[in-house]
């Protein structure tokens, strides 16, 4: 940052030194009448409350038992309601520029584990036979995450205080969740629910998922003064995802990767003084909404013997091409407090 400030100071000094001579009164008049439209830099730490989930759904039709054909469905719901902290660096022209632009880089990580539990559902559907849930479990979650974005904006048209333009960039998310405890129920041989609460404080599974999301969209901004505005933006995303689901108790690892579709929307309000020179503190409040949908095919690998199949040793077995569905719905409330200069 010090290097940026030195560079900015050098550029400004050079601009002044090379400017053509003006009458003193004319210079004073020009500087007073013309708003600042040079380069702005802002730094803003932020705190963010996340909401939402990632759903992992697998539905397979085939032979269930003794010549019976049916459908087995499994759904895992991973919570994303964590508290995040991060930093944004933004550089761009002043809003007074006719076609103002900006480039923003932000990075954040979670500060607190999700308060909700991971939920695991299993069903069996047999035509003319049994249809319903066969098990349900909950596990507590410890999570580490890394999120970031590199986004650019360019005003294409303006009318009065209104600005219309396009945005483009890439967003990144990586979630690493470790699951502990196992509480819930499963059907016994008499189709009665057997309840249990076991493996307290024991690692029972892990889930890792990564999204890289190029995006392009539009924005509308109402610019009240040099520092205060209300902005709406929305973008279409093409997420490239990969995930890894480790059933530790079953010695089974499932991996997959795919592209999908997604969207991002945001509303934000920035409040600052109308100063056009010097350091200007600001506060920004925003809400974001994001959705991701992908349908990869996973490969399941048993790195050890699966205890639910005692009749044979699964170690080293591999089962490719299993379809599953990943759905993520995320919401964020963000507060930024920063300085622009």
pLDDT band (50, 70, 90) for residue 275: low
pLDDT band (50, 70, 90) for residue 40: confident
The mean pLDDT value of the chain amounts to 87
Per-residue pLDDT tens for 207-260? 999 999 999 999 999 998 878 999 999 999 999 999 999 999 999 999 999 999
> Is it the case that residue 31 has pLDDT exceeding 80?
no
pLDDT band (50, 70, 90) for residue 277: low
Q: What is the pTM of this model?
A: 0.85
CATH 3.40.50.2300 assigned to 2-340: no
> Is it the case that residue 25 has pLDDT exceeding 80?
no
Per-residue pLDDT tens for 130-149? 889 999 999 999 999 999 99
Provide mean pLDDT across the span 88-101: 85
Rounded-to-10 torsion of CA 32, 34, 35, 38: -120
**Backbone φ and ψ of 90, nearest 5°:** -130, 135
Exposure string of 287-309, with b = 16+ CB inside 10 Å and e = fewer, is: ebbbbbbbebebebbbeeebeee
- Mind giving me the DSSP string for 160-187? TTEEEEEEEEEEEEEEEEEEEEEEEEEE
What integer pLDDT is reported at residue 97 of this predicted model? Answer: 74
What integer pLDDT is reported at residue 16 of this predicted model? Answer: 36
**323 with 297: CB under 8 angstroms?**
yes
Count the Cβ atoms, other than its own, within 10 Å of residue 192: 8
Per-residue pLDDT tens for 144-169? 999 999 999 999 999 999 999 999 99
């Amino acid at each position: 940052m010090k290097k940026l400030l030195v560079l900015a100071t050098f550029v400004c000094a050079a601009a002044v030194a090379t400017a053509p001579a003006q009458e003193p009164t004319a210079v004073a008049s020009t500087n007073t009448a013309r708003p600042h439209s040079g380069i702005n830099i802002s730094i803003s730490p932020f705190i963010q409350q996340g909401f939402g989930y990632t759903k992992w759904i697998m539905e397979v039709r085939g032979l269930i038992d003794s010549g019976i054909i049916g459908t087995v469905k499994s759904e895992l719901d991973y919570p994303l309601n964590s508290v995040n902290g991060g930093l944004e660096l933004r550089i761009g022209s002043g809003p007074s520029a006719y076609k103002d632009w900006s480039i923003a880089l932000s990075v954040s990580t979670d500060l607190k584990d999700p308060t909700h539990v991971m939920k695991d559902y299993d069903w069996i559907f047999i035509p003319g036979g049994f249809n319903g849930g066969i098990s349900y479990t909950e596990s507590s979650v410890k999570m580490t995450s890394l999120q970031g974005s590199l986004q650019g904006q360019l005003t294409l048209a303006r009318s009065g205080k209104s600005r219309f333009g396009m945005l483009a960039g890439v967003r990144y998310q990586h979630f690493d969740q470790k699951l502990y405890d196992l509480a819930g129920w499963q059907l016994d041989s008499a189709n009665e629910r057997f309840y249990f609460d076991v493996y307290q404080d024991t690692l029972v599974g892990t889930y890792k998922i990564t999204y890289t999301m190029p995006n392009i969209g539009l924005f509308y901004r109402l610019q009240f003064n040099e520092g205060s505005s209300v902005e709406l933006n929305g973008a279409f995303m093409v997420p490239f995802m990969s995930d890894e689901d480790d059933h530790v108790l079953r010695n089974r690892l499932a991996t997959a990767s795919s592209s999908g579709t997604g969207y991002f929307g945001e509303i934000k309000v920035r409040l600052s003084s109308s100063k056009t020179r010097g350091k200007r503190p600001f506060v920004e409040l925003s809400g974001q909404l994001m959705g991701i949908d992908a349908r990869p095919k996973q490969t399941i690998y048993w790195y050890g013997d699966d205890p639910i199949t005692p009749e044979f040793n699964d170690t080293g077995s591999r089962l490719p091409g299993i379809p599953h569905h990943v759905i993520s719905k995320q919401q964020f409330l963000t507060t930024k407090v920063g300085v622009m200069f």
